[in-house]
Amino acid sequence: MNDLNSVLIEGNLTRDPTVAATPKGTPVCNFSVASNRYYYVDKEKQEEVSFFDVEAWSKLAERCGGELTKGRGVRVVGRLKQDRWQDKEGNPRSRTKVVAEHVEFRRPRVRPDEDEVDELEGAEAEQPATEKQEVVVF
């Protein structure tokens, strides 16, 4: 029986993804996701940001490399993988990343241009931008 190793992360890309190929030609895409957590301490809102390295393979890698850009919202379902090695001084090193098995691409927030905001009057100008919740699943 396998132990459970599953993770779901939702956030925004911190940089544009990079796509490369293994020596056998298998595509691999790497990107980083920032995920915010909000909580309260003594009725004061606190924010904690965590950063996760994500790796996608094969057709999923190609789609992620073609669709994703810095700032784009994503929901990643995958598993944790720990890479271990020794540095030049012989010290043990490790890094944990998410290997994506499923990625949902969220549309960026839609905000009016600054010029358009100036043309709005009254309460309309104070309305927050709405977010389209169209999701592309791969």
- Provide the CATH number for the domain around residue 106: 2.40.50.140
- Residue 46 maps to a domain: yes
Taking 50 as the threshold, does the pLDDT of residue 127 lie above it? Answer: no
- Residue 52: φ, ψ to 5°: -125, 130
Q: Which of 80, 76, 30 is nearest to 57 (CA)?
A: 30
- Residue 88 maps to a domain: yes
Pairing of strands 7-13, 92-106: unpaired
Give the separation between CA 100 and CA 56, rounded to whole angstroms: 5
Give the separation between CA 20 and CA 26, rounded to whole angstroms: 8
| pLDDT on residue 81 | 97
- Residue 1 maps to a domain: no
What is the pLDDT confidence band of residue 76, given thresholds at 50, 70 and 90?
very high
- Residue 2 maps to a domain: no
List, in order, residues 6 or more apart from 108 with CB less than 8 Å away.
Answer: 71, 72, 73
Number of domains in the chain: 1
Taking 70 as the threshold, does the pLDDT of residue 135 lie above it? Answer: no
- Residue 86 maps to a domain: yes
Taking 80 as the threshold, does the pLDDT of residue 132 lie above it? Answer: no
44 alpha-carbon distance from chain centroid: 27
35-49, 89-103, 112-126: least confident range: 112-126
Greater model confidence, 118 or 91: 91
Pairing of strands 44-57, 92-106: parallel
Count helices and strands in the chain by DSSP H and E runs: 3, 7
DSSP state of 19: E
- Residue 119 maps to a domain: yes
Q: How many residues does the chain have?
A: 138
Taking 80 as the threshold, does the pLDDT of residue 125 lie above it? Answer: no
Taking 60 as the threshold, does the pLDDT of residue 98 lie above it? Answer: yes
Token pair listed for 31? 């990107």
| pLDDT on residue 138 | 53
What is the pLDDT confidence band of residue 107, given thresholds at 50, 70 and 90?
confident
- Residue 70 maps to a domain: yes
Q: List alpha helices for 68-126, DSSP H.
A: 114-119, 123-126
Q: Which domain holds residue 87?
A: 7-137
| pLDDT on residue 116 | 41
If you average pLDDT over residues 33-51, what whole number do you get?
Answer: 95
| pLDDT on residue 2 | 76
